[in-house]
Structure 1
Amino acid sequence: PMTTVAVLGGGIGGLAASYYLCKSPQVTKVILLESSSRFGGWLWSTRRSDGAVFEHGPRGIRPAGAVGRNTLNMVEDLGLGGEILPVTYTHVASKNRYVYVNRQLHRMPSGLSGLLRPVPPFSRPLLLSLATEILVKKGKEDDESIHSFVSRRLGKELADIAVDSLCRGVFAGDCRKLSMRSCFPLLYDAEQRRGSLTLGMLLGSGPAPVVPPGPLAQRSIQESWAQWSLSRGLESLPESITEYLQQSGRVQLHREAAVQQISPSASGWKISLEDGVMSADHIISALPAKALSSILPSSCQPLIQLLQDISTVTVAVVNLEYEGSVLPVAGFGHLLPSSEDRGVLGVVYDSVPFPQHNRPDGETTRLTVMMGGAWFQEVFGAPEAATEERLLARATEAVRSHLGVSTAPSWSRVTLQRDCIPQYYLGHHRRVGEYTSLSLSVIGASYDGVSVNDVIFSHNTKIQGLNPNYKEHQ
Structure 2
Amino acid sequence: MSTVILGGGLSGLSAAYYLLKTHPKHSVQLLEASTRLGGWIKSNTLNNNIIFEEGPRTIRPHGLAAYNTLSLIQEIGLESSVIPIHSTAPAAKNRMIYADGQLHLLPSSISSIFKVMSPFSKPLVWYLMHDFIAQKQTVKDESIYDFCNRRFGTEVADYLISPMICGICAGNSKEISVKFLMKTLFEYEQKYGNIYKGLIRNLFNNSPKTELSKLAKRAKVERWSVYSFKDGLESLPRAIEQYIKKKDISIELNAKCKSIELYPRNITVHLDNGKSIDASQMISSISSEELSQLLKNQHPDLSTLLEKIKSVTVAVVNLQYNKKLLPKEGFGFLVPPKERLPILGVIFDSSCFPNGENTVLTVMMGGAWFQELFGKQCDKEYILNLAQEHLKLMLGINEQPENVKVNILEKCIPQYTVGHNENVEKIQKYIKENKLPLALCGSSYYGVGVNDVILSSKNAVEQLC
Q: Which range, TM-score by smaller chain?
A: over 0.9
Identity of aligned residues (%): 38
Aligned counterparts of 2:198 and 2:69: Cα–Cα separation in 1: 26
**Residue in 2 that maps onto 1:312:** 311
Q: Give the match for residue 126 of structure 2.
A: 128
Question: Which residue is equivalent to 2:404?
Answer: 412
Alpha carbons 1:71, 1:457 under 8 Å: kept = yes
When structure 1 is superposed on structure 2, of 208-217 and 314-323 the one drifting more is 208-217
Determine the C-alpha separation between the residues in 1 that align with 2:137 and 2:11. Answer: 34
User: CA 1:212–1:190 in 2, change beyond 3 Å: closer, same or farther?
Assistant: farther
Number of aligned positions between the proteins = 457
Where 1:234 maps in the other structure, the secondary structure is coil
Q: Please report how far the alpha carbon of residue 134 of structure 1 lies from its aligned counterpart in structure 2 after TM superposition.
A: 3.2
Q: Report the alpha carbon displacement of residue 211 of structure 1 after superposing the two structures with TM.
A: 4.0
Matches within 5 A, 1:302-381: 302-355=301-354, 358=355, 363-381=357-375
Corresponding letter in the other structure for 1:366 = V
**8 A contact 1:167–1:175 mirrored in 2:** yes
Comparing 78-87 and 199-208, the one that deviates more:
199-208
Name the SS of the counterpart of 1:292 in structure 2: helix
Relative to the length of structure 2, the TM-score reads: 0.94
CA distance in 2, matches of 1:443, 1:205: 32
Q: What's 1:252 paired with?
A: 250
Structure 1 unpaired stretches of 5+: 468-474
Q: CA deviation at 1:341?
A: 3.2
Deviations 1:88-111 (A, max 9, x none): 111111110011000010000121
1:322: how far off?
Answer: 1.1
The one-letter code sitting in structure 2 at the alignment partner of 1:376 is: F
5+ residue gaps, structure 2, are none
> 1:214-257 deviations in whole A, cap 9, x for unaligned?
10011000001010000000111111111111101x21111111
Deviations 1:360-412 (Å, cap 9, x if unpaired)? xx511100000000111111111xx1111100001111111101112111110
> Is the aligned partner of 1:396 residue 2:388?
yes
Tell me the distance in 2 between the aligned counterparts of 1:300 and 1:61: 36
- Partner in structure 2 of residue 178 of structure 1: 176
Counterpart CA distance in 2 for 1:257 and 1:145 is 38
1:58 partner amino acid: P
Confirm or deny: 8 A CA contact 1:5 1:27 kept in the other structure: no
Partner of 2:242: 243
Q: Secondary structure of 2:359's match? A: strand
Question: Corresponding residue for 1:459?
Answer: 457
Q: Does the Cα contact within 8 Å between 2:283 and 2:460 map onto a contact in 1?
A: no
**Do the aligned partners of 2:130 and 2:153 also contact (CA within 8 Å) in 1?**
no
- Residue type of the partner of 1:79? G
Output one character per residue of 1:13-56: Cα deviation in whole Å (capped at 9) or x when no partner: 11111100011137511111100000000110101232111100
Match of 1:436 in 2: 428
Asked whether the 8 Å contact 2:10–2:454 carries over to 1, the reply is: yes
Q: Is the 8 A contact 1:24 1:466 kept in 2?
A: no
Distance 1:120 1:201, change over 3 A: farther
Match of 1:386 among 378, 384, 387: 378
- How do 1:174-323 and structure 2 match up within 5 A? 174-192=172-190, 194-198=192-196, 200=198, 203=202, 210-248=209-247, 250-265=248-263, 267-273=265-271, 274-296=273-295, 298-323=297-322
Q: Which residue of 148, 151, 154 corresponds with 1:153?
A: 151
C-alpha deviation, 1:288, in angstroms:
0.3
2 CA distance for matches of 1:200 and 1:398? 43
Does the 8 Å CA contact 2:12/2:457 hold for their aligned counterparts?
A: no
Residue identity opposite 1:343 in structure 2: P
SS of residue matched to 2:283: strand
CA-atom RMSD, angstroms?
1.8
Residue 191 (structure 1) shift: 3.0
Of 439-448 and 61-70, deviating more is: 439-448
Instruction: In structure 2, give the amino acid aligned to 1:214.
Output: S
Moved >2 Å (runs of 4+): 134-139, 182-212, 264-267, 459-467
Q: Is the 8 A contact 1:183 1:424 kept in 2?
A: no
Displacement after TM superposition at 1:199 (Å)? 5.2
2:160 maps to amino acid: A
**Which residue pairs with 1:472 in the alignment?**
none
- In structure 2, the residue matched to 1:28 is 26
